[in-house]
Structure 1
Amino acid sequence: MGDVTRILITGANGFVGSACVAEARARGIEVTALYRRAPVAEWASDPGIHPLQADLSDPATAAVLGNAMSGVQAVIHAAAHLGGDAASHAQDTLRGTQTLLDAMTSGGARLVLVSSIAVYDTMQVAPGAALIETAPLEDADHARDGYAAAKLRQEQMCRAAGLPLWILRPGAVWGPGRTWHALLGFRASRLHVQINSEGELPLTHVTHTAWALVKAATRAPHGTPVLNVLDDDRPTRARFLRAHRRMTGWPKLSLPIPYAVWITLVRLLKPLSANLPGLCREPVVRARLMPLTWPNTALRSTLGGEDTDTFEGMLTRSLGGPQ
C-alpha cells in the first residue's frame, strides 16, 4: 500500500477519536473525521481534516461512506456505545460496525478496531496472574455486561469481514478530564472506598492510545494482530490514590478494603446479586478489581514506542500542570 497519507476515523469527536485525529495530523496524515453530532471546533482551521457527519447506525450511511473512502488507506474504528445498555450496543456498536464494514468491502483499506480489555474472562484467571493477549475470552452470549458482549461480537464481525485487520484492546483510557475511573472502588458520600491496593491498574493514557492506533494504521497487519494497549508505567491503586490526592485533594477520606475481604463478602451475597450493583457481583469485581499484572510486551515488540512520561508526569499534564 505504500505510505499512508489519508485515514478515516469514526467517532472522531470522541475522547479517543479526537486524540487520534490530533496524532494523525501531527504525523502529516490527512484525516476524514466521521462524527454523528457536533464537530470539533479546531478542525475548521486545519485543511488536512475533512469532517463528515454521518450516523453509522443507519445502514444507508454505507453508501455515503463508500464515496468518502476514496483515497483512504486505513480506518480507525473508535465509534461505539460506552455504557452497558444492550439495546444501545446493538444499534450503535454492532449495527454501526456492520455499516462501516459494508462500506469498506471493496476499498482495500485496512481496519484498526478499537476493542477493549473488557473481552477477557477474568473468572478463569487467578489473582496475581499476568493477563496477556492469549488469556481466555468471555462468551458473548453469557458475558458479564453489555459492553463486554458487544466488544466480543464486534471483534467477531470484523474478523469475519476478511479485511486487513488490527485488533487493539486498550485498557482504561484516561487523560484530560478523565483522570478518575471505575477501577478504583466506589464513593460512599464523601468517603472513597478503595478495594485492593495491590496489582497494576490497566491504564492507557489517551495520547499513548492514539499513538498506538495511528501507528497500527500506518502498517500492514500480518494475519490479525491482537494487541493490548497499556501504559509502560502502570501504577498500583495505592500509588494512583496518593498521586491523585496530592494533585487534586480528592479523595480526602479513603477506606482501604483488601480484595480478599471484598470478594468473600460478594460471594456471601451471591443469592442477592441480581438486585445488587456491579461491584457486588463477582464477575464484575474480578474484572475491575482483582490484583493482576498487565504486560504490554506484545504492543512494544510489534509497534515499538514508549510512554512520553511517568504516570505522575502524565497525571500532572492531564490536570493542566506544566508540560
Structure 2
Amino acid sequence: MGALTLFLTGAGSYVGRAAAESARRAGLGLVLHSRHGHGDAPAAPGVASVTGALDAPDLAERMQGCDAVIHVAGRMQGTEAQFQKDVVADSRAVMRAARAAGVAKVVLAGSVSVYGAGTPGATITEASPLEPRPDLRDAYTRAKLAQEAAMQDADGETALTILRLGAVWGAGRLWNAHIGMAKGPVLIRLGGEGQIPLCHVARAGEALVKAVGAAPGTFNILDDDLPDRVRYLTGLARSGWPRLVLPLPWRMLDLVARDGPTRLGLLRRPTLRARMMPMAWDGARGRAALGLAPQATFEALMAAALAEGGAP
C-alpha cells in the first residue's frame, strides 16, 4: 500500500486520530478532513488538511487523487435530526463524492450497535440479525443502521467495506453503555456474565487502514481478549472509580422494561437486552481478513490506558 493516499473524514475525532496515526506509520499519504477545523493537525510531509461540510459541492474535487476514503465522521450524541443529518445524510454525500471523484474504495467506521440482542448466551457474528425494532433503540443506533443502508445503496462502482467497531475505548475513554448505570461515584452493574464488545482505539485505527488493502466486506472489529463486566470493573478500579458497585440482575430490570417507544433508555426492552444481556462476540473473521496484529491482554491494555489518560 506504499504510495496510496487516503481521504480521512472525522480526522480530529478519537477514532480519526488513531486512523491517521496508523496511516502515517504505514507511510501513506493523507488528506485529513474536518467539518470544524484542525486545531492540532500535524504538519508532516504527505499530510494535507481540509475543512468544510461533507455535503459541500466541492467535496468530490477535494477527494481527487485519493485512492480510498476512510469515513469516520459522525456524532455520538445529539437529537434525532442531528443524527440523521451528520450520520446518514452526510454519509450518503460522502459516497456520492467518492464515486464522482473516481475513488476505488470507501471504508466505513460502523458500529456493533446495529445488531439485535438475540437470546442470552448467543454469539454475535457478522451473520447475526440486525436490530428489528430500531424505533425502540436510541438515536445513535437508528442512525448507524440507516448509515449502512444509505452507503450500500449509493456505492455504485465504489467498493464499500463496513467495519462494525465494538465500544471504542482507550486512554481518556473508559466508559461505555454496556457496563451499567452510573451516578456519581456509584455504579449499578446489570449482571456480570457475557462479554463486553470492546474495541481498543489503536485496533480501530489499525483496522480502518488495513481494510483499504483488503477485499471488501462487512466485519466485526473487536479486541482479542473481551472481559465480562466484573473483570472490566476490576481493571477499572485502579482509577479510583467507581467507589461503589451495586450488582443488579439484568432480568430484574427486564421485568419492568417494555417495548413501548415512550419508555426511556434501559426501560426500553430492546435497548436493555442489546446492552446488558449476556452474550459472546466474535471478531475472528475481521482479524483474519485484515491481518490484524495480536493484542495484549485486557488487563495490560487497561493498565496502559490508565497510566496515559487517568480516570474515565
Compute the TM-score of the two structures, normalised by the length of structure 1. Answer: 0.89
Q: After the TM superposition, list the runs of 4 or more consecutive aligned residues in structure 1 that deviate by more than 6 angstroms.
A: none
Number of aligned residue pairs: 306
2:60 to 66, 72, 82: 66
Taking the TM superposition and a 5 Å limit, the aligned residue runs for 1:212-251 are 212-221=207-216, 225-245=217-237, 247-251=238-242
Partner residue, 1:53:
51
Find the residue that maps to 2:247 and give its secondary structure. Answer: strand
Taking the TM superposition and a 5 Å limit, the aligned residue runs for 1:270-309 are 270=258, 276-309=263-296
Structure 2 unaligned regions, length at least 5: none
1:155 lines up with 2:148 in the alignment: yes
Find the residue that maps to 1:50 and give its secondary structure. Answer: strand
Q: Is the 8 A contact 1:74 1:218 kept in 2?
A: no
Taking the TM superposition and a 5 Å limit, the aligned residue runs for 1:185-224 are 185-221=180-216
1:319 lines up with 2:306 in the alignment: yes
Partner residue, 1:88:
82
Decide whether aligned partners of structure 1 residues 93 and 260 sit closer, same or farther in structure 2, where only a CA change above 3 A counts.
same
Q: Is the 8 A contact 2:12 2:38 kept in 1?
A: yes
Give, as a single letter, the amino acid of the residue that structure 2 aligns with 1:316: A
Q: Does 177-186 or 83-92 show the bigger shift?
A: 83-92
Partner residue, 1:98:
92
Counterpart Cα distance in 2 of 1:98 and 1:4: 27
Structure 1 unaligned regions, length at least 5: none
Give, as a single letter, the amino acid of the residue that structure 1 aligns with 2:122: A
1:276 Cα offset (Å): 4.6
Find the residue that maps to 1:262 and give its secondary structure. Answer: helix
1:118 to 113, 116, 119: 113
Partner residue, 2:246:
255
Q: Is the 8 A contact 1:39 1:51 kept in 2?
A: yes
Counterpart Cα distance in 2 of 1:318 and 1:231: 14
1:249 Cα offset (Å): 1.4
Decide whether aligned partners of structure 1 residues 143 and 167 sit closer, same or farther in structure 2, where only a CA change above 3 A counts.
farther
Q: Is the 8 A contact 2:220 2:286 kept in 1?
A: yes
Q: Is the 8 A contact 1:232 1:306 kept in 2?
A: no
Compute the TM-score of the two structures, normalised by the length of structure 2. Answer: 0.92
Partner residue, 1:39:
38
Give, as a single letter, the amino acid of the residue that structure 2 aligns with 1:74: A
